[in-house]
């Protein structure tokens, strides 16, 4: 029987690769810039102790700091994205490590700035801020001053910056183990061919109509992680301990509070998300029951959750077709948006296909002064088409922010980062639901939309609850062994999926493969972002130009205000449970619609 294996990087046609040469034409240029940044680091010493002297001193320091930040961003992004092309390449492993070390040096050299600013007497600081050149920094100053109680003295801040590289160790080790070293078994496809299981094709197998293929992929993946359970557990435990340490040192009551405070998001937003999702768990149980009935199964296993429940409906979508579907679905966003989108799809923004050693999943990244980039592992599926829409949403958010904001405010907070991406998915889906006439395909799409809700609101909230529980245990002084992590994770799966699902033993190890757990308290933003995006998308479709104008203004605002305020300006108030409740009400209606389509 034929065995299919991944292509090497060199075998991928150039038209499907991103153009990182737009950041640095050659590695030599990267090296030259690396050395130039190193040489500029000592300049920071000339500003230390002088920030309260005059507007001239403060302005010069801030300009130097911003320049260093921008150039460092380019150094790190280039090295890391080159590494992501093939994590086995030692050259780019080394360049990424060096860029990370350089970032620590720059962080250490600039660590004095915020403590020194906070030490300037309020009246003196207010006087210095009157200089017109410093008006640009008003929001940044406000953000610094509100964190006064959590900023350490200069020596302590310098130490915290220097140990930053150590704090990143669990995430770095996980990335290398998960992407470069981990090998999955060969499994059999629907025709009996042996195919290498990868993280990239796993979901494709989970969507197979053949139950044995789904089961084999499910067991193959999780048994591989289970073999190294104690190692994964030690990594995640170390990461969580780092979060807790950082929060304690900075005088926060918890790691969760420390994370939310960075974006000025009230703790109540996190708790309200979990509470509201719990209210709608009966609707999830109703959906799961419908899935079980539609598939004609006596028992529904976790490996049955991804397969389309509409029989004999396949949507094979090659990349070229996926691009056209995205462009068509996003027409409501107007000509300006579409022009940039087309440019991005055709001029080297996107790295399309999976290859040996390539980082799994998908992301959007980039640097100020160059266009954004998108990493994909496209599989010719409907899900991959939506992934393209999603990541281009991120990229256009970055593009409009970079075009309309100075570097200091171009970067937007993570709390709003998932709004632009998920809104794209919502608009494309609404277009397909409106234009599809075939009842089977329509049912397939409704099922897919329900899966987006399940994966983005319910599943990510379950992840968020897991993060809250695990961090709380460490804060209480309890040990987080692999066994304890698995018990917690299994219990949450039981809560979120209910009694209609057989809890296969393998699911207890899923926590071991989730990269986001190494960036704590990120995943809840997928759920809040999905809710906000759902509200904004419906506003755009109902109101047209006024809503589009508000939305493009939101995309262009970067980090010039706090996330809650930016979203309020776009038309949604995330300090209330209303957006989450509205989104889940739509989920409930879709379950009813699918019930009707399947009768």
Cβ neighbours, 10 Å, residue 492: 18
| CATH code, domain carrying 436 | 1.10.1370.20
pLDDT tens digits for range 408-448: 999 998 889 889 999 999 999 999 999 998 888 899 899 88
Residue 360: partners with Cβ closer than 8 Å, 6 or more residues away: 178, 179, 198, 199, 200, 377
Strand locations in 95-207, DSSP E?
186-188, 194-196
Catalytically active residues, by annotation? 391
**80: which 2 tokens?**
């890391």
| Structural domain ending residue among the three candidates 106, 136, 167 | 167
**In a domain? residue 2:** no
Q: Judge if 211 and 101 occupy the same domain.
A: no
Q: What is the pLDDT of residue 80?
A: 96
Q: Judge if 411 and 507 occupy the same domain.
A: yes
How much is the average pLDDT of 208-220? 94
| CATH code, domain carrying 94 | 1.20.140.70
pLDDT tens digits for range 301-313: 999 999 888 865 6
Residue 7 has pLDDT above 60, yes or no: yes
Q: Would you say 37 and 61 are in contact if contact means Cβ atoms under 8 Å apart?
A: no
Residues found in the chain: 599
Residue 1 has pLDDT above 60, yes or no: no
Q: What is the pLDDT of residue 167?
A: 86
CA-to-CA distance for 437 and 427, rounded, in angstroms?
A: 18
**In a domain? residue 131:** yes
How much is the average pLDDT of 286-306? 94
User: What 3-state DSSP class applies to 198?
Assistant: coil
Q: What is the pLDDT of residue 9?
A: 94
Structural domain boundaries enclosing 43: 9-167
Residue 232 has pLDDT above 80, yes or no: yes
Q: What is the pLDDT of residue 311?
A: 65
CA-to-CA distance for 71 and 64, rounded, in angstroms?
A: 11
Which region among 75-79, 146-150, 273-277, 375-379 has the lowest average model confidence (pLDDT)? Answer: 146-150
pLDDT tens digits for range 82-129: 999 999 999 999 999 999 999 999 999 998 998 899 889 989 999 999
Residue 367: partners with Cβ closer than 8 Å, 6 or more residues away: 23, 70, 73, 74, 77, 78
Q: Judge if 115 and 187 occupy the same domain.
A: no
Q: Judge if 502 and 418 occupy the same domain.
A: yes
DSSP label at residue 309: S
Q: What is the pLDDT of residue 3?
A: 57
Strand locations in 267-329, DSSP E?
300-301
Q: What is the pLDDT of residue 315?
A: 78
> Which of 361, 376, 410, 372 lies closest to 394, judged by CA?
372
Q: Judge if 162 and 244 occupy the same domain.
A: no
User: What 3-state DSSP class applies to 571?
Assistant: coil
Q: Judge if 421 and 277 occupy the same domain.
A: yes
Q: Judge if 155 and 273 occupy the same domain.
A: no
pLDDT tens digits for range 246-261: 999 999 999 999 999 9
DSSP label at residue 250: T
CA angle 275, 483, 213 (to 5 degrees): 85
pLDDT tens digits for range 365-385: 989 989 999 999 999 988 899
> Residues of the chain with pLDDT > 70: what percent?
99
| Structural domain ending residue among the three candidates 114, 137, 167 | 167
**Measured on CA atoms in the order 295, 298, 300, 303, is the torsion positive or negative?**
negative
**Measured on CA atoms in the order 307, 310, 311, 317, is the torsion positive or negative?**
negative
């Amino acid at each position: 029987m034929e065995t299919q294996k991944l292509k090497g990087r060199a075998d991928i046609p150039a038209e499907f690769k991103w153009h990182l040469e737009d950041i640095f034409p050659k590695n030599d240029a990267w090296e030259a810039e690396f050395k130039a940044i190193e040489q500029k680091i000592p300049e920071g010493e000339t500003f230390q102790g002088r920030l309260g002297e005059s507007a001239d001193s403060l302005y010069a320091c801030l300009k130097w700091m911003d320049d260093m930040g921008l150039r460092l961003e380019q150094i790190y992004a280039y090295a890391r994205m080159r590494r992501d092309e093939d994590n086995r390449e030692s050259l780019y492993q080394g360049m990424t490590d060096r860029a990370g070390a350089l970032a620590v040096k720059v962080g250490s050299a600039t660590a004095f700035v915020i403590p020194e600013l906070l030490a300037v007497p309020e009246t003196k600081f207010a006087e210095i801020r009157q200089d017109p050149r410093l008006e640009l920094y008003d929001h940044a100053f406000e953000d610094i001053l509100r964190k006064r109680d959590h900023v350490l003295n200069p020596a302590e801040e310098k130490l915290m910056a220097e140990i930053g590289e150590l704090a990143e160790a669990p995430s770095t080790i996980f990335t290398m183990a998960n992407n470069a070293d981990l090998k999955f078994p060969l499994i059999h496809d629907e025709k009996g061919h042996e195919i290498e299981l990868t993280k990239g094709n796993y979901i494709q197998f989970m969507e197979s109509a053949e139950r044995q293929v789904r089961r084999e992929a499910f067991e193959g993946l999780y048994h591989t992680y289970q073999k190294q359970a104690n190692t994964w557990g030690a990594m995640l435990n170390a990461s969580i301990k780092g979060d807790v340490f950082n929060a304690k040192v900075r005088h926060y009551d918890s790691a969760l509070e420390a994370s939310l405070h960075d974006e000025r998001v009230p703790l109540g937003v996190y708790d309200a998300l979990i509470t509201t999702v719990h209210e709608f768990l009966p609707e999830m149980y109703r959906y799961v029951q419908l899935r079980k009935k539609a598939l004609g199964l006596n028992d529904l296993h976790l490996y049955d959750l991804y397969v389309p429940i509409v029989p004999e409906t396949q949507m094979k979508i090659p990349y070229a077709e996926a691009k056209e579907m995205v462009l068509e679905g996003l027409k409501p966003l107007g000509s300006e948006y579409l022009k940039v989108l087309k440019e991005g799809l055709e001029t080297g923004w996107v790295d399309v296909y999976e290859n040996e050693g390539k980082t799994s999943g998908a992301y959007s990244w980039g640097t100020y002064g160059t266009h954004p980039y998108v990493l994909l592992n496209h599989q010719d599926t409907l899900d991959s088409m939506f992934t393209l829409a999603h990541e281009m949403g991120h990229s256009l958010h970055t593009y409009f922010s970079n075009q309309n904001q100075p570097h200091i405010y171009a970067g937007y907070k993570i709390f709003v980062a998932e709004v632009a991406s998920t809104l794209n998915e919502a608009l494309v889906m609404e277009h397909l639901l409106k234009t599809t006439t075939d009842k089977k395909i329509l049912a397939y799409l409704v099922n897919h939309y329900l899966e987006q809700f399940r994966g983005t609101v319910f599943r990510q909230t379950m992840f968020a609850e897991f993060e809250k529980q695990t961090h709380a245990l460490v804060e209480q002084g309890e040990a987080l062994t692999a066994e304890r992590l698995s018990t917690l994770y299994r219990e949450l799966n039981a809560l979120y999926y209910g009694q209609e699902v057989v809890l296969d033993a393998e699911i207890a190890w899923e926590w071991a493969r989730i990269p986001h757990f190494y960036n704590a308290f990120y995943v809840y933003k997928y759920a809040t972002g999905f809710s906000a995006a759902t509200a904004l998308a419906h506003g755009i479709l109902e109101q047209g130009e006024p809503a589009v104008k508000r939305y493009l203004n939101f995309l262009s605002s970067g980090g010039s205000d706090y996330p809650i305020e930016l979203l309020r300006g776009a038309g949604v108030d995330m300090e209330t449970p209303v957006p989450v409740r509205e989104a889940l009400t739509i989920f409930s209606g879709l379950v009813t619609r699918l019930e009707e389509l399947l009768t």
